[in-house]
């Protein structure tokens, strides 16, 4: 999500707040005031001529959002430069316009969040909402934001209660608007029993984490003193200001793939120290506690990695990954529904085949009944024919003499009837064989269907095993990556300790050489002083010799040298 999309979300709230009648149109005078304020907070030079030209009064009627967008893109959004304005001031302007109309906290003062915390939640909502208008936040992002707030307070979120709340809302499954989200937070349903101050601190912590800024102590380059600065992290630069109002920028640190972050030991009365090394300089900083140092070092390392990968922001990257995971879940759900539909169709097809098989069996039973009726009818015909033949035989016996020729004819007729009966019996046997073959074919078909159903069940079981293996592989990959990161961190710490030990060894060697040189210089001075003492002793002996007379030379010389003995000893001790 680029800067233009972020600004458009806040401007959309301001535009809809000015649309009092909810007709999608706003009066020109209100749009002039809105545009003038946008010029101011975005630090863009005012262009009153273009403003009056675009909103001239000769065209009656209010302006819709489609009519305002060309002017907004050409004269405002195209001129915006990232870092030239304070994003929080811009958001606060849009929040002020929309909160007057839409935000309705408890009039009795029983709201869970303050007005300032509601503004920060509104900013977080805009960051996590979908890039579709009207702006909504899907249930997964709602749960993600509430979990981060609860984690900052060391409280566990009740996901089941959140699901129940979203299922009760008319549009909860599709997403919540920012006003529904604020009403849900103010209801105290998920933050009951927690003080407002703790909630405010948690919202502030999550807001600073997502916006990626906060206070750190920084060591100066020239005076080497420590100063508290407000840092703001972007993927390509780490800027620091005098205070969180970001009116006076003190400097910036360009981040690229050559930069690195290292944890430093506590020294100079500062704790939780770390440094950012660039190709030209090393910046030393100190956090308030170990957790903040870990968050900053991780955030800066992630920014360096994202800069190398050409990405914009850690939280934007995480949001995109969560969106891709939701799309993958939707795709898997659609595939599962499609598979269920296909299995349902197969089940219906199987039931239809079974019904057809039942119909065939019923037709077979009807055919068997018809065959039995036909057989019975033929048997009756045969019996009737036999009775007729017996009658004819009796008549023939009675009139054999006169009916011999007719009897021969009747016998021939009987022979034809017998042949016909044999043919009918042969046809009956063939029909029975055909019926048995059809029954066998139906049984083979049923066996094939059973085998097909078994193969389908085996295929489904293998698919489940494959999915399980895939999940285990993903878990193993994640675990391996974590172990690799831990080993890498330990190796870096050991390398740092080794480098520090080598530096200390070099310092000891240099000190030892310097001490040796000092000892040698002292020995030279001592030798020179000893030489000078001997020389002065000789001179003193030579000069003091002629002063005393002959007999008293020894005493005088002895007295003189005894007088100079302490002086020489003192000089010798001072030289030592």
Q: What is the mean pLDDT of residues 225-253?
A: 79
Q: What are phi and psi of 4, to 5 degrees?
A: -60, -45
DSSP output for 413-432: HHHHHHHHHHHHHHHHHHHH
Q: What is the pLDDT of residues 306-333, one digit of tens each?
A: 777 766 555 566 666 666 666 777 788 8
Q: What is the dihedral of CA 482, 483, 489, 491, to 10 degrees?
A: -160
Give the mean pLDDT of the chain: 79
What pLDDT score was predicted for residue 65?
A: 67
Is it the case that residue 452 has pLDDT exceeding 80? yes
More confident residue, 65 or 572: 65
The position carrying tokens 């609860």 is 150
What pLDDT score was predicted for residue 449?
A: 87
Q: What is the pLDDT of residues 23-58, one digit of tens each?
A: 778 887 888 888 888 888 888 887 777 767 776 654
Q: What is the mean pLDDT of residues 290-314?
A: 74
Is it the case that residue 573 has pLDDT exceeding 60? no
What pLDDT score was predicted for residue 41?
A: 84
Confidence band for 63, pLDDT divided at 50, 70 and 90: low
Buried residues in 58-79 as b, exposed as e (16+ CB within 10 A): eeeebbebebbeebbeebbbee
- Which range is least confidently modeled, 141-155, 269-283, 524-538, 550-564? 550-564
What pLDDT score was predicted for residue 195?
A: 75
Q: What is the mean pLDDT of residues 95-115?
A: 75
- How far apart, in whole angstroms, are the C-alpha atoms of residue 146 and residue 191? 10
- Which range is least confidently modeled, 187-196, 302-311, 432-441, 550-559? 550-559
**95-101: long-range contacts, CB 8 A cutoff, minimum separation 24:** 95/10, 95/13, 95/119, 95/122, 95/123, 97/13, 97/14, 97/17, 97/18, 97/34, 98/13, 98/14, 98/16, 98/17, 100/17, 101/17, 101/20
Q: What is the pLDDT of residues 331-383, one digit of tens each?
A: 888 888 888 888 888 898 899 899 988 999 999 899 999 999 999 999 999 99
What pLDDT score was predicted for residue 322?
A: 66
| Residue 25: strand pairing partners | 64
- How far apart, in whole angstroms, are the C-alpha atoms of residue 315 and residue 438? 70
**C-alpha closest to that of 103 among 183, 166, 204, 34:** 183
């Amino acid at each position: 999500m680029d800067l233009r999309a972020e600004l458009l979300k806040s401007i959309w709230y301001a535009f809809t707040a000015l649309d009092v009648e909810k007709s999608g149109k706003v009066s020109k005078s209100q749009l002039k005031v809105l545009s003038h304020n946008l010029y101011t907070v975005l630090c863009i030079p005012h262009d009153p001529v273009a403003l009056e030209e675009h909103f001239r009064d000769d065209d009656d009627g209010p302006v819709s959002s489609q009519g305002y967008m060309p002017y907004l893109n050409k004269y405002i959004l195209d001129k915006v430069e990232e870092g030239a304005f304070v994003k929080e001031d811009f958001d606060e302007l849009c929040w002020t316009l929309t909160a007057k109309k839409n935000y309705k906290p408890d009039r009795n003062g029983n709201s869970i969040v303050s007005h300032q915390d509601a503004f920060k939640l509104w900013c977080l909502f805009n960051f996590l909402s979908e890039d579709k208008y009207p702006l909504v936040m899907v249930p997964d992002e709602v749960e993600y934001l509430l979990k981060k707030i609860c984690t900052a307070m060391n409280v566990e979120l009740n996901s089941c209660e959140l699901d129940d709340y979203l299922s009760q809302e008319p549009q909860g499954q599709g997403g919540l608007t920012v006003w529904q989200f604020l009403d849900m937070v103010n209801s105290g349903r998920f933050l009951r029993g927690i003080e407002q101050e703790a909630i405010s601190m948690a919202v502030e912590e999550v807001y600073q984490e997502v916006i990626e800024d906060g206070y750190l102590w920084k060591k100066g380059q020239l005076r080497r003193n420590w100063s508290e600065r407000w840092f703001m992290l972007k993927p390509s630069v780490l800027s620091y200001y005098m205070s969180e109002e970001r009116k006076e920028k003190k400097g910036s640190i360009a981040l690229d793939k050559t930069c690195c972050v290292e944890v430093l030991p506590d020294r100079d009365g500062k704790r939780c120290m770390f440094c950012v090394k660039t190709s030209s300089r090393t910046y030393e900083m100190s956090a308030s506690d170990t957790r903040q140092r870990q968050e900053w070092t991780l955030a800066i390392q992630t920014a360096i990695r994202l800069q190398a990968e050409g990405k914009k922001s850690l939280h934007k990257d995480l949001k995109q990954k969560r969106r891709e995971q939701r799309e993958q879940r939707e795709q898997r759900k659609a595939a599962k529904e499609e598979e269920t539909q296909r299995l349902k169709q197969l089940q219906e097809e199987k039931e239809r085949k079974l019904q057809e098989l039942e119909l065939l069996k019923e037709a077979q039973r009807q055919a068997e009944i018809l065959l039995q009726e036909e057989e019975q009818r033929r048997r009756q015909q045969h019996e009737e024919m036999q009775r007729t033949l017996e009658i004819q035989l009796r008549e023939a016996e009675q009139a054999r003499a006169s009916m011999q020729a007719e009897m021969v004819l009747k016998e021939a007729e009987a022979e034809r009837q017998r042949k016909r009966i044999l043919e009918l019996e042969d046809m009956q046997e063939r029909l029975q064989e055909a019926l048995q073959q059809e029954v066998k074919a139906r049984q083979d078909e049923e066996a094939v269907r059973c085998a097909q159903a078994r193969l389908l069940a085996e295929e489904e079981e293998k698919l489940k095993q494959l999915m399980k293996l895939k999940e285990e592989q993903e878990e193993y990959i994640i675990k391996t990556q974590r172990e690799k990161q831990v080993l890498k961190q330990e190796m870096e710490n050991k390398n740092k300790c080794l480098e520090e030990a080598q530096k200390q060894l070099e310092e000891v060697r240099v000190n030892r050489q310097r001490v040796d040189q000092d000892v040698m210089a002292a020995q030279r001075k001592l030798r020179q002083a000893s030489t000078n003492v001997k020389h002065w002793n000789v001179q003193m002996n030579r000069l003091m010799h002629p002063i005393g007379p002959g007999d008293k030379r020894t005493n005088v010389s002895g007295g003189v040298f005894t007088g100079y003995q302490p002086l020489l000893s003192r000089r010798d001790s001072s030289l030592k």
